Each structure stands twice: as C-alpha cells, then as structure tokens.
Structure 1
Amino acid sequence: MANLTRRQWLKVGLAVGGMVTFGLSYRDVAKRAIDGLLNGTSGKVTRDRIFGNALIPEAQAQTHWQQNPQQTIAMTQCFGCWTQCGIRARVNADGKVIRIAGNPYHPLSQEHPIDSSVPFSKAMEQLAGESGLDARSTACARGAPRCDDLYARAAPHCWKACTVRCGCLNR
C-alpha cells in the first residue's frame, strides 16, 4: 500500500464514511427500484395490473347512462369558501364520500349549466364521452379535495381536544 499522509487518510476515511452513510440511507429506495424493475411494481400490490388503485367508474355511458350500483351520487353544495358552488359527491356503499366533482346543474361549476328539467341520466350523458371542454362540470382546487376534510376528525393524527395550559395534551 502506498504511503499515505494523515490528511490523505482523513480524506479517504470521510469519502468511505460518506458512501456508507449514503448507501444505508437509500437502501429502501434502491430495494424498491430493483423490485420495480424486476416485478413491475415497487412492492405495493395494486388492485389492477394496468389501472392500479384508480377509483371504480361512477357509471358507463356506451348507449345510455348506467350508474354503478356500488355508488350513489349526491348533488350538494361545497362549503370550502363563501361562494358555495354546486358539487356532486360520489358516495360508496359504506357511506363514505370518495370523490367530489362539479354539479352540471349549477351555474358556478359549469359555464353553460344544464336546465333543471333535464333528467339526471341525460345530464350525465352530456358530461360523458367526447363532449369537449364546454360540457365539463368541475370543482375548484379548494372544493375537489373536500372529501379528505370530511374525515379529518376521525384521523388518528388530528387533535381531538384543545391543549391545556399546564402542558398536558389531550388526544
């Protein structure tokens, strides 16, 4: 081995220590990357090989509107801000809101709202397929994630009560 000075030993030691630390901190990422390359997934099994964990469609509209029997659609208002836009909430069989989108009958969520005399199935058919941007009904960036806020009180990481001045925390 070549004669190394103390300074060179220190440089080599720091470089080796840095590489070991880097390797240890990224071992999970490297394992998932290799697993993803070999198995086509990062180790988390999905419901479907192609669509992953995407939501089940709310309906099908090949010939006519056929709603998914596992879900219901509730037309309501968003309380994310003072505007109170019209939204449609997709509710699964357990009664949990799984997605929020725009209400096609409401003037604040569609540029050309559908007349209230039009049946629901016809209104939804107008939204489906290749209707273009004029027929879409949307919720804003504040209203669309409201379904997460609905269940925030039940989340284990949220505070359940006020903290007390003595420093003890009531969770």
Structure 2
Amino acid sequence: MAYCLYWWQSFCKGYAFEVEIFHDLERSGLRFQAHDLLDPTARRSPHDLFISDFRGDVKTSVYFLLKASGERVSSDFFITRVWLPTRRARTLAVFLQDATWEAIDGETLLTLLSDLEEVLPRPARIPYHGGHLVVTDYADWKGENGRGKGEDGKWM
C-alpha cells in the first residue's frame, strides 16, 4: 500500500508541476503545444511540450540525468527545479541539448552540475555522457524563446 501511495503522490506532484509551468508559459506569451494531461495516451507521450520544432519535458528534479551510462536524454530541453545548497533554495532552470542551445545562441561557462549554483543565472555548459548540456535560468530562457526567430533562423 505504501508503495502505491508513494507513486501516486509522485505522479500528482509531477502533473501539478507541469500544469504550473504550462500556465506560466501561457502568461508569458510563449507559443508552445502541450500534451493533453486528460488524455491517457497523450500523458504517456515521450515529450510534454513542443516549442517550435523542439521537444521538451517538465521534470520535478534532475533525476532524468541519471540515465544508463552512455545513454543520452531524448528531449531537446527539460524544464526543472535545481537545488542550490548554499542558498538553501530551489530555482527553476532549463537543461538544453547543445543543438537546441545553438538555435538560441549565446555564451556559456563550463562548469560541473555540483557547481551550478556559482554560475546561475548565467548559462552554463555541464559535461554529460561524452557531450554537454547547457543549463540556463528559466526566466532568461523564457525571454529568449518569447522573442521568436529572426531572418537568419536564430532566436532573436
């Protein structure tokens, strides 16, 4: 029984966080397409939302980084919460694949996940399974995406 209650609570927290993010993105005027949480098939889709041609997921923590060795994440970006131990607080952050970050463009600082607190809100590049993921502040990411693409195809 406890096992079932644990998983039920975890799913509820995850869906509540998704709804919170979707509402925030709508208030920000960011154009996106979210999966239908009321449709069981859509709920099990591999991605929670699409922005432009990019596939995204909303996660309650960075557990998605704990893939099997050598296995890369499947989404182009992840919106999640990151614990900042010195500040003793959580903050919203976005983890992006290199190719996704290139569409937005911008400088990054190379760091480790454990040192992310020293870099955020500036964009950081962390090692991940032989490559890198870019981590940026959620509010800054929304601002970059909300401006749309320019004539050169880059995010403005």
The TM-score normalised by the length of structure 2 is: 0.24
The structure carrying a bigger strand percent of its residues is 2
The structure carrying a bigger helix percent of its residues is 2
Query: Which structure ranks higher in relative contact order (CA pairs < 8 Å, sequence separation ≥ 6)?
Result: 2
| Structure number, greater radius of gyration | 1
The TM-score normalised by the length of structure 1 is: 0.23
